[in-house]
Amino acid sequence: MSRLPRVLLLNYEFPPIGGGAGHASFQLAKTLVAQGGSVDVITSSPTNQTTSDVADGVRIFRVPSRRRGVHECGWLGAWSYVLSARPLFRRLLREQSYDVIHYFFGLPTGVLSLCAAEAGRIPSVVSLRGSDVPGYDAVNAPLQAVHQILRPVTRRIWSRADAVVANSRALSVLAQPILAGRPIQVVTNAIEADAFSPAASNGRKASAELRLLTVARLTQRKGLQDLFRAMTELRQEPLRLTVQGTGSHQEALKELARTLGISDQVQFAGFCVREQLPSVYRQADVFVMPSLSESCSMAVLEAMACGLPIIACWVGGMAEYVEDGVNGLLVPPGDSQALAQAIRSLLHNASLRAEMGRQSAAKARKDYSWERVTGEYLAIYRRIMDRRNGHGASHAAG
């Protein structure tokens, strides 16, 4: 087909709400529109009001949801989005002619695929992001309990979709048992290379301290408690950690820093608008992501694009973009001593940091562009549209 498909994209998180998945869906939508496509989005409202607007050519419909905050959803926020979005979803399907429906997150967003008969007549894609896959966030017992209860619903949502996509090979493998052998394609996240780039050629400003940085939602899964314990072994070393982000674990982390005696080495910098993030990365020497589970971290990709060496845990999809000993160092999850050793190995080796940073930037530019990601999604859209057109209703209508 010559024209680009008209897409209805649904995500309960979308800028300024949420984190990496919201930004990923917006970048995909913007790139599709820039290439001549059409995208409508149904997402949550930061003001808990029903609104609509246009950003970068993308029509955005926002519905109320009872979120805990801009960057923290909670169960009430997730499921109230589904209830608020349902009537708008059904109305748009009646009034508009979409070629593809794209659901970001199997749960809760994908539940909408079960809420309208019209949805079954349109080719659909479900993008798995991590927390919507059973077994992903193993430290979150309530989440795993919900996944166990809703496993039949998850299987039905995924099975009805014409394509299921994971953002890393590791997440695809974790999700595979739900679909019993049906293929799950991998399409990674990406970064905006024009915004996230290394510091100017004269390099980062010199500092007497090693400047560590992490950018994350402050939850237990992000493993900052292990990083803080690692820093107790480096208390006499010249280093400082900036924690950029907010979340439900923030006060507990501040108390842990006080208890461990490292408060003077840790700065809680809070929320940062996305436009200022490149500057934050460029002021750091090393990026640390001690997550206990991770699929395809937007923050790590952004740090790589800005020329930072990465220290991370050997979990999920991390090893797919952080090559141990090349553009960073990988350590076992939850191992504070290994984290301390990784930091120590980069602390007094500026040349190694610089080389790893160059490797990070080169890998990010080469492998993680939105043009590539959009092209891969376009290929999926066209394939499932052709399959529907050529062979009538597929398994997705069942």
Sheet holding 6-10, edge to edge: 51-55, 58-63, 38-44, 6-10, 100-104, 124-128, 163-166, 185-186
Is the bond into 16 cis (omega within 30 degrees of 0)?
yes
Give CA angle at 211 (206, 214), nearest 5°: 145
Average pLDDT score over residue span 317-331: 97
Question: Which is nearest to 1 in space by CA: 30, 41, 36?
Answer: 36
Reply yes or no on whether the pLDDT at 29 is more than 90.
yes
What is the pLDDT, as a whole number, of residue 199? Answer: 86
Looking at CATH, the fold of the domain delimited by 6-190+369-397 is given as Rossmann fold (3.40.50)
Burial class of 148 by CB neighbour count within 10 A (0 to 12, 13 to 18, 19+): exposed
Q: Is the pLDDT of residue 180 over 90?
A: no
Q: In this structure, are residues 265 and 241 in contact, taking their beta carbons and an 8 Å threshold?
A: yes
Q: How far is CA 305 from CA 199, 244, 250, 289, in A?
A: 10, 17, 27, 15
Q: Give the closest residue to 367 by CA, choosing from 188, 220, 240.
A: 188
C-alpha span between 238 and 171 (Å, rounded): 37
Pairing of strands 239-244, 6-10: unpaired
More confident residue, 164 or 273: 164
Q: What is the largest CA-CA distance in the chain?
A: 68
Distance between CA 309 and CA 395 in Å, rounded? Answer: 45
At 40 the three-state DSSP class reads strand
Here the tokens at position 23 are 């930004």
pLDDT tier, 398 (very low <50, low <70, confident <90, very high otherwise): very low
| 6-190+369-397 and 210-367: identical CATH topology | yes
User: From CA 315, how far away is CA 332, in angstroms rounded?
Assistant: 8
Residues 6+ apart with CB under 8 A from 369: 190, 191, 193
Chain segment 337-391, per-residue pLDDT in tens:
999 999 999 998 999 999 999 999 999 999 999 999 999 999 999 999 999 887 5
pTM here? Answer: 0.91
Domain ranges of the chain: 6-190+369-397, 210-367
CA–CA distance, 92 with 250 (Å, rounded to integer) = 39
- Give the pLDDT confidence of 238-286 residue by residue, as tens digits: 999 999 999 889 999 999 999 999 999 999 999 898 899 999 999 999 9
At residue 49, does pLDDT exceed 80? yes
| pLDDT, position 392 | 46
CA gap 172, 179 in Å, rounded: 10
Which pLDDT value is given to residue 99? 96
For residue 139, give both structure tokens.
Answer: 């430290």
pLDDT in the model for residue 264:
95
- Are 101 and 124 spatial neighbours (Cβ–Cβ below 8 Å)? yes
**Mean pLDDT throughout 134-147?**
90
Residue 5, both tokens: 């498909």
Does residue 210 surpass a pLDDT of 70? yes
Q: What SS3 state is found at 394?
A: coil
Give the residue-averaged pLDDT of 66-82.
Answer: 84
Side chain identity, residue 273 = V
Q: Which helix (H) or strand (E) holds 127?
A: strand 124-128
Token look-up 């092209």 returns: 375
2.102.10.10, 3.40.190.10, 3.40.640.10, 3.40.50.2000: CATH of 210-367? 3.40.50.2000
The whole-number pLDDT of residue 369 equals 94
Tokens representing residue 360 in the block: 């990070």
Compute the average pLDDT of residues 130-139.
Answer: 91
